[in-house]
């Protein structure tokens, strides 16, 4: 029996409808317009595509989105100055610098320049630290989206063995921490892992984020496992595919995400959620200060 496909697109549509209602309430009751500032440096086609999708999603949800595009020649100090401007601007609730940046700009230094209170990507070391010790914070969007997808299945996460393939700061490391908070047992696999197939075959939930097309085949997956494919790879024929061999794995998994239409739409949705969270927090502060 083939796996049930987890449609990130459908779940995202549902959640964005709720976010739109919340945004409208915030504007009407608190006179606060949630606003996201996006900085795009260079001419990477994928980055331009992602920013376009984020702007469209913001506008559909009623969130104001300011996109500033700069040439590859922009210096690191010029970028830092622009981030400082947005940090000081009370009208801006979230700041997003689209990655990757040109090689002459230090990405980590730029992420650290964004105010943790406006870091709606959830990448700032302070927010990662808050996440680690279960404090309220902005959660990284892709891991947050993955968790919401699993929760939508109404399956218990408690005690489940979650295996994460990949250890990036953006997906692999934080997604394991989010599932640990939900009382799952976490195992990380990576390029230096020995006997990976033996480990992944024990996973109740397998999350794959390595960036290599179709690398995970059916023999890596336990019968009935939930498989989340984070990879987005473009093949020579121009088609998109994930890190998981979808046609093979869907025959052994119980649930599986497609590529495209799986994790991607949920990543953007959680960006909207984080921006709304920031604007709501600001609105509450304004209400308290006026009383």
Residues assigned a catalytic role = 54, 98, 121
CA angle 39, 44, 48 (to 5 degrees): 55
Q: Say whether 28 counts as a known binding-site residue.
A: no
CB 179 within 8 A of CB 203: no
Running DSSP on this structure, what letter comes out for residue 219?
G
Q: Is the dihedral of CA 61, 115, 89, 77 positive or negative?
A: negative
Q: Say whether 22 counts as a known binding-site residue.
A: no
CA angle 6, 9, 13 (to 5 degrees): 120
Q: Say whether 211 counts as a known binding-site residue.
A: no
First to last CA, the chain: 60
Rounded distance, CA 233 to CA 48, Å? 17
Among left, alpha and beta (phi > 0; psi -120 to 50; other), residue 7 is: beta
Q: Say whether 232 counts as a known binding-site residue.
A: yes
Rounded distance, CA 159 to CA 99, Å? 35
Q: Which of 118, 152, 153, 111 is nearest to 138 (CA)?
A: 118
Known binding positions: 166-168, 232
> Residues within the annotated binding site for NADP(+)?
166-168, 232
């Amino acid at each position: 029996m083939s796996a049930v496909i987890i449609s990130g697109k459908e779940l995202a549509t549902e959640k964005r409808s709720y976010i739109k209602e919340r945004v409208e309430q915030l504007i009407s009751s608190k006179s606060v317009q949630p606003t996201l500032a996006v900085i795009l440096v260079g001419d990477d086609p994928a980055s331009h595509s992602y920013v376009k999708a984020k702007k469209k999603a913001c506008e559909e949800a009623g969130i104001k989105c300011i996109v500033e595009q700069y040439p590859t020649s922009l210096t690191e100090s010029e970028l830092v100055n622009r981030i400082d401007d947005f940090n000081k601007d009370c009208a801006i609730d979230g700041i997003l610098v689209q990655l990757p940046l040109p090689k002459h700009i230090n990405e980590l230094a730029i992420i650290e320049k964004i105010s943790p209170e406006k870091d709606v990507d959830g990448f700032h070391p302070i927010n990662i630290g808050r996440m680690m010790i279960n404090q309220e914070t902005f959660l990284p969007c892709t891991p947050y989206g993955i968790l919401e997808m699993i929760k939508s299945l109404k399956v218990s996460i408690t005690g489940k063995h979650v295996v994460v393939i990949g250890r990036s700061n953006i997906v692999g490391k934080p997604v394991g921490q989010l599932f640990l908070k939900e009382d799952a047992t976490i195992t990380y696999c990576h390029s230096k892992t020995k006997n990976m197939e033996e480990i992944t075959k024990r996973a109740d939930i397998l999350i794959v984020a390595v960036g290599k097309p179709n690398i995970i085949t059916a023999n890596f997956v336990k019968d009935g496992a939930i498989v989340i494919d984070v990879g987005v790879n473009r093949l020579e024929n121009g088609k998109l595919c994930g890190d998981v061999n979808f046609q093979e794995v869907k025959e052994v998994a119980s649930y599986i995400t497609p590529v495209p239409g799986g994790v991607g739409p949920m990543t953007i949705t959680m960006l909207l959620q984080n921006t709304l969270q920031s604007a709501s927090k600001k609105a509450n502060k304004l209400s308290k200060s006026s009383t």
